[in-house]
Each structure stands twice: as structure tokens, then as C-alpha cells.
Chains A and B, each alone.
Chain A
Amino acid sequence: MSEVVLLQVIGLCVVGLGVVILLFIQARFLRVVGFVIIVLGIFALIALGVPQMASLPPAEEKFDVASIKTATDMAAIGQKIFFSKGQCALCHSIGPSESARCPDLKGIGAKLTREFIYESLTQPQAYIYLDFRHEGPPKEYPAKMPQINKNPIGLSNNEILSVIAFLQQMSGEPITVSPSEITQPAGQPQKVAALIPIVHGQ
């Protein structure tokens, strides 16, 4: 018996107890107690009837540098991060979606350079878009995107590179991120020289 089924059985018993109290007990206060537990039991049963999703802390992707041989290996890790720790799928979709609140990322790897993607992830406000959806001069339309390398998401440089590899791969583009850019274990310098962010003008 799963936890949900067990709780549903308990909920039904509680409602049943309330009904029994109302049917057979005349003491006023106890009748009110019976009524209250019926209401609470029904509430719990409704809550147990909706989709049960727990929010688990994101799993840390282990970077075993020795096991990453190809750019495809990086893209595979990037895909996991995209849907877990990176929380990208919370707002973005890959392909049209009714529930997506932020830009569709299908083909994004073909539209943007890796430098621009890196900058969009780490300095979302470096390039300010303009909003033309009204009369008069366009207004600045800053992105709501969080800085992905800072808390609460806090992706490491290796993880960001992997996500870029995934975005390029799913766009059908050649992956320009190389496994050689993966940072070595602690104590060794990071190889991020190739990813100096480019600050765009407005």
C-alpha cells in the first residue's frame, strides 16, 4: 500500500468517524467536533486526489573529468542539468508550449553564439532588449532571467558549459564546447579564457 493510499484510507476513516458522531451522538460540542473532522477529512481527501509532487533538492551532477571523452558526453550532462539543478525548464520550453512563460529555446543553439549564450546565462542584463509593443519610442525590456552562476541556482562553470553543449546539440548544431575546457578538480585553474563575456551596447 502506497503512502497516498494509506493516507486516503485514514482520511475516509476520519470522515466516517465524523458521520458516526453526527448520527449517534447528541452532545452538542461533540457534534460540532464530528462536523469539523468531516470537513478536515474531506479537505485531506481532495488534496490527496490531486497530482502528488514533492520538491526534491537538485541532484549534484558529478563531473568525473576522466569519463568525459567527447562533447556529446558534456551535452548529456547538460541535458540533465537543464531539467534539474539548472531549473531552466521551469520557465523555458523546447518547442512551443502553452505553459512556458519565457522564450522557447528550440533552435537557440543555432541562433546565438556560445559566447552570447554564456553571457545570457551569467549576465542576463548585459544585453537589454527593447519593447516595441506600444506607441512611441521603444522601452527597455530587461530580462527576468536570474544570474545562473549565482545562488539560488549557482551552476558551476563546468555545468554552464555542459548546458551550452546541450543547447547546441538539440539545435542540430556542431558542439563548440570542448571537454578540454572542463575545469580540473579543485586546486587547478579554470579554463575560461575562451569565454570572456561580450558586453553589448543597447
Chain B
Amino acid sequence: MKNHGGHPGLIASLFREQGSLIAGLSLLIALLGFPLAGLAQDAASASAAVAYRDIPQVGGSRNIIWVVAQQHLLLAGFVLGVPIFAWVCEIVGWKSGEKRYDKLAKEFTKLLTSAYATTALFGGILLFLLIGFYPKLMTYLTDIFFPSFVVYCALFLLETVTLYLYWYGWEAMQGGGMKVLHLFLGFLLNVFAFFIMIVPNSWATFQASPVVIAEGSALARAWAATWNPTWWPVNIHRLIANVVLGGFICGAYAGIRYLSATTAEERDHYDWMGYVGNFIGVFGMLPLPFAGYWLMREIYQYNQQMGITLMGGFLSWLFILQAVLIGALFLGANYYFWLGITHRIEGAEAKYRKPIMAMLVILLLCLGVWMTPHSLVASLEEARKMGGTHHPLLGVFGVMSAKMTVVNLMILVTFMSFVIYWRAGKEETATWAKVAKAVMGGVLGLAAIVVIILGVWGYFVPAIVRINYFSVAQVLIVLFVMLTITPLTALLLRSAKTTTEMVWGRMPPRAGYALVMNAVMVILLMTLMGYARSSSRVHWHVYGVMRDSSQYAYSPALGYAAVFMSLNTFVFCLLVSFIFWVATMGDKGKSAEVSGKGKMPAGAVPAMAGGSQKLDGK
């Protein structure tokens, strides 16, 4: 890419070059770290004397690891989620011929080089700290997983080469067969990224659900440890979560750029980008609870105690916080859809006001049920009056049957928001349109009724029946609705007539803030569930195999942990902002040269900062 604009362009160019250099150096550091881990094995006799090291002056080893590991994991989620996002956008652009999708894909791939370097940097720091703080544990893990360390290094090399080809070859591979080759590179990038994700997942899941075999070759032992009971549930859960993270971060970026936009062209572009980001985030979010449900089932199957520690033990209140965060995310994502319907499509507000109100009421009711705790925080006197810690009326909503039901209903409502948005401003012309709409309405209504019936029935059957049959049936029903209505709507809209064009760039500032909030909610959720996963091991480094005998062999209470989660989220947001800022420096230099054409009136600018209502009313 050619630089414009003198100084900023030069800085951008330097950063780009240094970005590659930093990426290379960081990778080198990370890769060198693994042989060091191997050497640690040879020095077992020396490290056996030191099980733990600590730096209490700067918060203690556990807290330092907490922050660094969380940053690495969030960055890794971003770096693995963005290529999926970019590749899908590139395919859409290629198939539809709409250049803006290709531009969007390129814009996000540009972030990857600097984000990749930062991720590797944190990975390297994390590795050194782990070797330093937990020599005994790392020796043990190295002994088991050394073959997979080698595989991990090889994958990193392949991913790096592919990323460079994908990014630097973007312009050169635009025409004909070369574009197909570029898309194939994007596919390869995602394949390597997937394996880069699942290899370390095996180390982390091994700690929670270890499979240790004494006999066999090093490879056989590593393979047995890798294929542990929670490995695949976590792989799938993280894969989907990374797509969600990538989508919502793209949305947040677009939201901030939209708020700062100074030209109508910028407003159009970032409004559209926010829509795409939110769409992909929601698209990933809908199946995510199912993956989470599968993971919890596997945990219960592996060790009931661990399951109960999570869901019914000291971590039970964590799931109320999870409900708050996911509920806010559902509300935020739906709110953004509704704003889109009412602001981007002329005349849609009057048509959809009632359905939107109905969906809002359902969402709030469902959220209320989901947030109802199983046991209430009550004084002794209050508990006596209630006849226990369970409220006589609200206690009914505190159990799993109610929660599973409302989660499924919230997914259905969100899916409906998406379908309404999709169909708004279009008139179906197919002869079978009426039948199709009746079928879709019937499927949706029937599904909601069956989900509720199963939820109520769930109170009267043994837990094992509810968990194994009713909950699974609810999940399958909702999946069926999505898999039926999505293709049917797509078919229906193929021949539809557009009655009202969607107008971009007219969203109020609160839409930008909604996008930012969605991203913050997803990041907080990842930090929260990271704490849950780690705490479920209680006082074990490797559950039931290697006990944590350090002074930090306890899980802190939720309040203290939440402060760390907030801190980690804030630091990650700053890091991502920095990455975006660095990566888009060159663009700003370019846009400074562009003429003032399309620039908004000076008085309108503060509106995006929330100062004027003039544009909000549009």
C-alpha cells in the first residue's frame, strides 16, 4: 500500500515494518520458550527443590499470571476470530461482487499482523512467567505434552507464513483464479488457526479433566492426555466464542468510528460495518449456549463434584452474574437491531413498534427469571419467614428447568429480531409467500409453546430425565426453528421486491454505544468463565493428580475476582484500541488529503459526541 500524507504516513509505514519485526521477534521468543520448557525437564532435579516462585511486591505470582494469561487468551480469541470474520466477508464480497465486503475483510486482516505480534508477545511473557513461577507444574506438563509443543511450534510457523501471504498478497491476488487462491489462503489461515487454538486447549482442559496413562510411548501419553473428556466441548465452545468476539469487536470499532465520523461517507461506511459486526456476533451468539450446555454436561459426566462446585457450590452465584452479562448482551444486540429497523428503514417504526415492544417485554421477563438465584441472600429472620433460603414464589424460577426455558425463549426472540430486520423494507412476490409465512409463524409459535411446556413439565420429572431428555429437546427445537426459518426466509427474499431502501448513516449515537457495550459484555463474559473454569479445579493444578500446595491454593470470592475481570477487560480494550489506532494511522493520513467533499456541517459533529440532538432525531 502506498502512503500519503507525509509524517503520519511515514510513522504508519514504520509501524507496519516494525509490526512484522515485532511479530517475528515475539514468535522467536515464544518458540525459544518451548525448548526452554524442555530443558526444564532435564533440570528436574534442580527444579524439584523449588515448586513455586513468587513476587509478592507486585501483587503475587497468581495475580500476575491471571492478568497476563487473560490478556493472552483474549488477544488469541481476537486473532483467531478475526480471520474467520474476514474470510467470510471476503467470500461474501467475492460471490456478491460488492466491493465493500472485500474492503471490510482487508481492513480487518490489516489488524491481524499487529494483533498477532501482540498475542505472541503475551504468549512469550506468559510462558516465561509460568516456567518461573510454577517450575514443578511446568516440568510435569512438559513431560506429558512435549510432542504437542513441537506440533504447536510447527503450526505457528505455518500460520505466520500463511498470514503474510494472505495479507501482503491481497492486492496482487484480486483477479480471476488468483482470487480463488487468495480465498484458499484464507481458508488455510483459519484451518491452522483452529489447530493453534485446540492444541493449547488440550493443556488447559487436561488440568481440569486429566487422563494420565503410565505406559506407552511419549506420543501415546500425550495423545491420551490431549483427548481428555472436556477437550472437544471446550474447542467448539471457544471456536464459536471467538467468532462472537471477533464480530462484536468489529462492531465496537465501527461504533467508535461512527461516533467520531466527520463525513457522510464515513458515517455510511461505519454504520454498515457496525451492522455486519453485530450480525456476525449475534449469529455466533445464538448457538453458543448450546455449546456451553454440552460442556457442562461433559463436566458432570467426568466428575459430578466438579459440576456441582460450578453450578451448586461456591461458584453458583457466578451464574447469576453470567445471566446478567448475557442478558445485557441479548438486550444490547436486540436493541441495535431495533434501532436499525426504526432508523435505517423509512416507515418501519410504525409497522414494527408493537412487535418490538412485545419482544422487549419477553426479553425482560426472561432475564428476570434467569437472574433469579436458587438461594436468596436473606437474613436469619427473613429466612425464617420464608421457611428457608428459597422464596416461596420466586424460588420456582431459581431452578434449572426455568432457566433453560427462558434462555431458549431469549434465543428465539433474538432470532426473530434478526428475521424482522432481514425482511423489513421488502415485499415478498413469490406465489407461495403466504404459505411460507404461515409455516414460519406456525413453527415459531409452536416451538415457543413446546419449549415452555417442556420447561414446566421439567419440574415434575427426575433430574436425570430433565437433563438428558427435556433440556436436549428444548435445544433441538430451537435449532430446528433456526435451521427451518433461515433458509426459508432466504428463499423468500430472493424474489422479493425492495419497497424501502435501507439508508445507512442515520443511526443515533446511542447505537454506537450499544455496539461498544456488546463488545464489553462479551469480553467480561470470557473473563468470568475463565475464572469459573480455573476455580472449578479448586485446590488442584491438575485435578486429582497434582495438588496446588502454594499459598495461593484458593479461589478468591466473586467480588474480588470481578475487580480483576473488570481490570482485565479494560486493559484488553486499551490494547485493542492501540492496535486499531496503529493499524489505521496510514488511513488517517490518506483521508486528510481527501477533499472536504461530503464533510458534515461543523455544527453536526458534536451530535455524535452526544452534545446535540439535531441528528438524533433524523
- A interface, CB within 8 angstroms of B: 3-4, 7, 10-11, 22, 26-29, 31-32, 35-37, 39-41, 43-44, 46-58, 87, 90-91, 98-99, 101, 133, 144, 146, 150-153
Q: Determine the main DSSP class of B at the interface with A.
A: helix
Chain A residues within an 8 Å CB radius of B303: 146, 152
| Those of B417-467 within 8 Å (CB) of chain A | 462-463, 465
Q: Find the residue from A4, A32, A101 having the highest chain B CB count within 10 A.
A: A32
Q: Mark B525-568, 1 if CB is under 8 A from A, else 0.
A: 00000000001001110011101100001111111111101100
Bound together, the chains give a CA A43 to CA B318 distance in angstroms of: 12
Which single residue of chain A is at the shortest CB-CB distance from B320?
A: A50
Given known A-B contacts A35-B513, A57-B554, A7 and B559 have beta carbons under 8 A apart: yes
Q: How far is the CB of B604 from chain A (nearest CB, A)?
A: 13
Give every chain A residue within 8 A of B313 (Cβ-Cβ): 55, 90
Contacts of B374 in A (CB 8 A): 99
B151 within 8 A of A: no
Residue of B with least CB distance to A57: B539
Cβ contact within 8 Å between B560 and A99: no
User: B239 at interface (Cβ–Cβ under 8 A)?
Assistant: no
By the criterion CB–CB under 8 Å, are B545 and A26 in contact?
no
Distance (whole angstroms) from the CB of A82 to the closest CB of chain B: 15
Docked complex Cα distance between A11 and B567 (Å): 11
Question: A28-B256, A36-B573, A101-B308 are known contacts; what are 5 more A-B pairs with Cβ within 8 Å?
Answer: A32-B513, A44-B565, A54-B554, A91-B305, A98-B390
User: Chain B contact residues (Cβ within 8 angstroms of A): what range?
Assistant: 35 or more
Closest to B536 in A: A55
Given A4-B559, A39-B517, CB of A55 within 8 Å of CB of B524: no
Residue pair A46, B324 in contact (C-beta under 8 Å) = yes
**Stretch with Cβ within 8 A of A (4 or more), from B3-11, B119-127, B496-504, B607-615:** B607-615
> Which chain A residues border B559 with CB–CB below 8 Å?
4, 7, 44, 47-50, 52
- Docked CA distance A152–B537 (Å): 10
Measured CA separation A29–B609 after assembly (Å): 9
For residue B520, CB closer than 8 A to chain A, the reply is: yes
CB-CB under 8 A from B610, the residues of chain A are: 22, 31
Taking A31-B609, A98-B388 as contacts, is the C-beta distance between A36 and B538 under 8 angstroms? no
Can you list, as one digit per residue, whether each of B388-406 has a CB less than 8 Å from chain A (1) or not (0)? 1010000100000000000
Within the assembled complex, what's the spacing in Å between the Cα atoms of A36 and B462? Answer: 44
When the two chains form their complex, are residues A35 and B516 in contact, meaning their CB atoms are under 8 A apart?
Answer: yes
Most buried by B among A11, A39, A101: A39
How long is the Cα–Cα vector from A37 to B554 in the complex, in angstroms?
Answer: 28
**Complex-state Cα separation, A90 to B388, whole angstroms:** 18
Q: How many Å from the CB of B512 to the closest CB on chain A?
A: 8
| A43 touching B553 in the complex, CB below 8 Å, given contacts A26-B609, A55-B535, A90-B313 | no
Check B539 against A41 for contact (C-beta < 8 Å): no
Given contacts A39-B517, A40-B570, contact A28 B260 (CB under 8 A): yes
Closest to B301 in A: A144
Q: Is the CB of A146 within 8 A of B304?
A: yes
Q: Tell me, rounded to whole Å, the shortest Cβ–Cβ distance linking A106 to chain B.
A: 16
A94 to chain B, nearest CB (A): 15
List B residues 296-330 near A (Cβ within 8 Å): 303-305, 308-309, 312-315, 317, 320-321, 324-325
Q: How far is the CA of A58 from the CA of B555 in the complex (A)?
A: 12
20 CB-based A-B contacts, threshold 8 Å: A7-B563, A26-B606, A28-B260, A31-B259, A36-B516, A39-B520, A39-B521, A44-B559, A44-B562, A47-B321, A48-B559, A53-B314, A54-B314, A55-B315, A55-B535, A90-B313, A91-B304, A99-B374, A101-B312, A146-B303
Chain B residues, Cβ within 8 Å of A50: 317, 320-321, 377, 558-559
Asked if A144 contacts B556 (CB within 8 A), the reply is no
B230 interfacial by beta-carbon distance below 8 Å: no
Cβ-defined partner of A26 (8 Å) among B553, B554, B566, B611: B611
- Most central of B305, B312, B388, B540 by chain A CB within 10 Å: B305
Chain A residues, CB < 8 A from B315: 55
Q: Determine which residue in B308, B517, B606 has the highest number of CB atoms from chain A within 10 A of its CB, and name it.
A: B308
Do B561 and A47 touch across chains, with their CB atoms under 8 A apart?
Answer: yes
Q: What B residues does A41 contact at CB under 8 A?
A: 566
Contact A57 B556 (CB under 8 A): no
How many whole Å from B393's CB to the nearest CB in chain A?
Answer: 14
Does B118 touch A at the CB level, under 8 Å? no
The 3 closest A-B pairs by CB, nearest first: A47-B562, A57-B539, A48-B559
Is B174's CB within 8 Å of the partner chain A? no
Cβ contacts under 8 Å, B513 to chain A: 32, 35
CB contacts (< 8 Å) of B555 on chain A: these are 54-55
Residues A151 and B544 in contact, CB atoms below 8 Å apart: yes
- Nearest-CB distance from A101 to chain B (Å)? 6
- A87 CA to B375 CA in the complex, in Å? 19
Chain B's nearest CB lies how many Å from the CB of A95? 12
Q: Is the CB of A32 within 8 A of B516?
A: yes
Contact check, B321 vs A46: say whether CB atoms are below 8 A apart.
yes
Chain B residue contacts of A87, Cβ below 8 A: 305
Tell me if B305 and A90 are in contact (CB < 8 A): yes
In Å, the complex CA distance between A31 and B611 comes to 11
Contact B562 A48 (CB under 8 A): yes
